Amino acid sequence: MKLLGDNNDWFYEIDLLYGREFKLGERFYISGYTGAGIYSRHYNSYNGTKYDLENESFFAVPIKLNLSPMVTSRFAIGFEMQATISNQKTLFTGGLLLQYYHKTKYNRKIM
């Protein structure tokens, strides 16, 4: 028995983004990014008699939004949401964001 089966579906995305970060409060930041990218998808397709591995790549426009509450003066744990928009498929993803700042965000320490 296989836990995940014989699924060979996977994708990758390469993006070039531009964004800005805005301060919402003493410890909260929000960041927005957009740009251009290449989205490549590999998946199994059934042609009536057997499964074949199909590949497709297309141009995409990624849009990201990060919400980053600061845990310390240099480290934030937050959420990242992304929409990848294209003429083939729109993909929505979200996840945990761990962010470290080389320089402190404050003149004084939070913790």
100 CB burial (10 A radius; 0-12, 13-18, 19+): exposed
- Quick one: pLDDT band at residue 2, thresholds 50, 70, 90? very low
Tens-place pLDDT, residues 89-102? 888 999 999 989 88
* DSSP SS3 for 10: strand
Tens-place pLDDT, residues 27-68? 899 999 999 999 888 877 777 777 777 888 989 999 999 999
Least confident of 9-23, 40-54, 72-86: 40-54
Residue 66 has phi, psi (to 5 degrees) of: -115, 135
More confident residue, 88 or 37: 37
